[in-house]
Structure 1
Amino acid sequence: MSYIIRPWATKDLKDIMRLIKECAAFHKALDQVKTDPEMLRKDGFGKEATFGCLVAEVPPGQKSKEGHTIIGYQFHYLTYCTWDGPVLFGEDLYVVPDFRGKGVGTSLMNKVAKVALEKGCSQFRFISASWNQPAMDFYSKLGALNVTSTDHWNLIHLDSEHIRKLVEQPQK
C-alpha cells in the first residue's frame, strides 16, 4: 500500500468533513459536530489560519471501500505553555478502519512532529478518550505520557452557553 501525507487544501474540505463525522461517530458524539466546510475553510486557510491539518491520501487505485482517497487526517494548532513556551496541540488523529495498522497514523504523527519542531515547540500535546485503549497504546509506543495520571492535570472546558453566562455576570 502506498500513501502520502501532505498539508490539506481547500479541495479536501468535503473529505475532511466526512472524516470528522466518522471520527465523531466512532466516539458516539456525532450530534456534537457543529463545524461545517465553510467554517473549516474560513478558519483553516489564509494568513489568519487558526489551525493546520494534514491528510493521508492513497492513489486512486487504492481507494477505500467507499471510494475515497483521503483516508486519514490530523488537526493541530499552536498554543503556549507559560512554563515551557510554544506547544503544538493535536485536536484529532483519525484513520479510516480499513487502513489502520498500516503505518498511516504513525506517518501522520511523524509529519506533525516535524511541524512542532519547525514551530519551535517544546511539546506536542493531544487528548484521547480514556476508553480508547488502542489509541492509548499507540501513543504510548510513540513515547507519549498520560499526564492525567502522572501529573494529575484535568482537562476543563466551558461550552458556549457558559461562556456567555460568564461574560454576562456583573463585574464587581
Structure 2
Amino acid sequence: MEYRIRPCAASDCPQLLGMIRALAEFEEMPEQVAIGVPGGVLLGYGLFFVTHSTRWGPSLYLEDLYVAPPHRGKGIGSRLLSKIAEAGVEAGCRRLRLSVLDWNESARRFYGARGGQEETLGGWDGGGPRCFVFRGEALTALAGPPPGVGPARPEGP
C-alpha cells in the first residue's frame, strides 16, 4: 500500500475525530474525548489523558483545549475545562497539568483565573512553555460548574 504524510486538512476532520475516539476506546478511556456541540456544530474540544506521578499519584494531563474563535468568550472553554476536571476527579486524579505557549497571554490569564498555579520551568533562554497545575481545592472547584455559567443544555430534542 502506498501512502504519503501530509498536513491535516479540514476535510480530514471527521476521520480524525473517528481516530481520536478509536484510540480513546482502545486505551479504555472513551470518556477522555470531550467536545462542545450545540445542534451538531463542533465548537471546541479538549484532549486529555491520565498519567501517573511518583509524587502525586494519578494525574490528568490536558494536551489541548480549543474553542473556535467565533465562539470564544461564551463560557464554552470553561465548560470543557470543568468537564475535563470532573472526569479527572472521578478517576481519582489528584492534579491536572497543562502547558501554555509562553506568548499566549490570554490562555495564561484563562487558566490563572480558574485557579491554575503556574509552575514554569524555563528553557536555557528563560523562555519556554508555561506549565499550570490545578491541585486539591483548585481541582475540586474546577470540576464544579464554572462561576457565572449555567449548566450545559442536555443533548437531544
Structure 1 residue 59: Cα displacement: 2.0
Overall identity of the aligned pairs, in %: 30
CA distance in 1, matches of 2:29, 2:35: 17
Matched with 2:112 is 140
Root-mean-square deviation (Å): 3.1
Q: Secondary structure at the match of 1:91?
A: strand
Contact preservation (8 Å) 2:48, 2:62: yes
TM-score (norm 2): 0.63
1:53 and 2:33 aligned = yes
Q: Distance in 2 between matches of 1:54 and 1:132?
A: 23
Which consecutive residues of structure 1, in runs of 5 or more, have no partner in the other structure? 1-13, 20-34, 61-68, 156-172
Structure-2 separation of matches of 1:117 and 1:43 = 22
| CA spacing shift, 1:57–1:37, aligned 2, 3 Å | closer
Contact residue 21 and residue 30 of structure 2 kept, 8 A: no
Shift in alpha-carbon separation, 1:18–1:131, aligned structure 2, 3 A? farther
Change (3 A) 1:104 1:38: closer
**Which residue number corresponds to residue 24 of structure 2?**
44
Runs of 5+ consecutive residues of structure 2 not aligned to the other structure: 1-8, 130-157
Question: What is the CA distance between 1:79 and its match in structure 2?
Answer: 0.2
Equivalent runs, 1:15-54 vs 2, <5 Å: 18=13, 36=16, 39-46=19-26, 48-49=28-29, 52-54=32-34
Match of 2:99 in 1: 127
Q: Distance in 2 between matches of 1:18 and 1:133?
A: 28
Structure 1 SS opposite 2:65? strand
For the pair 1:102 / 2:74, whether they are aligned, the reply is yes
1:102-146 deviation digits (Å, cap 9, x = unpaired):
000000011111101101111001111111100000000011011
Structure 1 runs (4+) greater than 3 angstroms displaced: 35-39, 46-51
**Number of corresponding residues:** 116
Question: 1:83: how far off?
Answer: 0.7
Q: Which amino acid in the other structure matches residue 58 of structure 1?
A: P
TM-score normalised by L of structure 1: 0.58
Q: CA deviation at 1:43?
A: 1.4
Cα pair distance change 1:49/1:111, threshold 3 Å: closer
